[in-house]
Amino acid sequence: MKIINPATGQIIRDIPESTNASIQQNFLLLKEGQKTWRKIPLSIRLESIRKFSVSLEENKEELAGI
Whether residue 1 contacts residue 15, with contact meaning beta carbons closer than 8 Å, is answered with yes
> Residue 66 pLDDT more than 80?
no
Element (H, E) at 11: strand 11-14
DSSP element (H, E) containing 21: helix 20-37
- What's this model's pTM, rounded to 2 decimal places? 0.59
One-letter amino acid of 12? I
In single-letter form, the type of residue at position 10 comes to Q
- 3-class secondary structure, 19: coil
pLDDT at site 65 = 80
How confident is the model at residue 64, as a pLDDT? 87
pLDDT tens-digit series, residues 14-50 = 999 999 999 999 999 999 999 999 999 999 999 999 9
42: left (phi over 0), alpha (psi -120 to 50) or beta: alpha
